[in-house]
Amino acid sequence: MTEVLKTERVLLDGLAFPEAPRWHDGELWFSDMTAQKVMKVGLDGRAKTVVEVSGQPSGLGWLPDGRLLVVSMTDRRLLRLDPGGLSVVADLAVMAPFHCNDMVVDATGRAYIGNFGFDLPAKADAKPTGLILVTPDGKASVVADDLLFPNGSVIFPDGKTLVLAETFGARLTAFAVAADGSLSNRRVWAKLDGAIPDGICLDAEGALWVASPRSREFLRVKEGGEVTHRIAAENQAVACMLGGPDRRSLFLLSCQVIHEREKSCTLKSGRIEMVHVDIPGAGLP
């Protein structure tokens, strides 16, 4: 039986389009995408801007030395926040047919970056695209192809499995990760009935929390597709992250979308809510 949970607290509201939440150094980091800034907020609700990104920030991650990596969506670049400001790690325009989006960064600093694959704002037909791997020295390559809008992704604690959300494929897809970062043994981890996956995060039992914008809910999904928990969202569910001191706080990011295919939100409708869960977070991000 599926358990229904309810949000317990609004941590932060008045945002534009909150995306890519990450629990890091005792705070929740996230991209306020259309506001063009990376932010962080403590459990006390106090927020601050970390850096502004004119190309619209999305996926976030960290190198082993602590420097922040940011996906710049519209100019299709991976950026690094150095002491002197943002610098370009890799230009991905040749490999990404349209905007880049979410990513996961592994323990060695390798970044796996998704992209739309087609002109979503123009309502073009969905086309498959590839997942891009960028190494810390800036070398980029496509490590998986034929993906329908590769979006949120996670890496399991042993570093040997990557699962990503294929938003327009309505499925979660898994790969084996080799020592050099290459991917193989592709398989469907779970098909989603009536939902489409956007941002995802992993818990210690190997289940995934999945944000589903179209059905306005957050789902906890086991491998194979069993849904164990549901949380209804007033607005469209965008992304989620397990964090807090014990990683049992589930952060829920949502906004009111004017037109789903354009991914355009009403002004300052974005919010971050919280709920306590029993199973803590695990893996990356």
Q: What is the pLDDT of residues 12-33, one digit of tens each?
A: 999 999 999 999 999 999 999 9
Give the pLDDT band (50/70/90) at residue 263. Answer: low
User: Does the structure show a pLDDT above 60 at 260?
Assistant: no
pLDDT at res. 76 = 98
Specify the range with the lowest mean pLDDT, choosing from 37-51, 137-151, 157-171, 247-261: 247-261
pLDDT at res. 125 = 79
pLDDT at res. 258 = 55
Instruction: Measure Cα distances from 240 to 21, 44, 184 in Å.
Output: 6, 18, 27
Provide mean pLDDT across the span 87-109: 97
User: Does the structure show a pLDDT above 90 at 276?
Assistant: yes
Give the pLDDT band (50/70/90) at residue 257. Answer: confident
- pTM score of the predicted model: 0.95
User: Does the structure show a pLDDT above 70 at 264?
Assistant: no
Nearest to 275 by CA among 192, 194, 217: 217
Percentage of the chain exceeding pLDDT 70: 95
Provide mean pLDDT across the span 43-67: 98
Domains annotated for the chain, with CATH where assigned, are 3-276 (2.120.10.30)
Report pLDDT digits (tens) over 109-160: 999 999 998 677 767 777 899 999 999 999 999 999 999 999 999 999 999 9
User: Does the structure show a pLDDT above 80 at 190?
Assistant: yes
User: Does the structure show a pLDDT above 60 at 259?
Assistant: no
pLDDT at res. 58 = 98
Report pLDDT digits (tens) over 218-245: 999 999 999 999 999 999 999 999 999 9
User: Does the structure show a pLDDT above 60 at 6?
Assistant: yes
> Average model confidence (pLDDT) for the chain?
95
pLDDT at res. 265 = 67
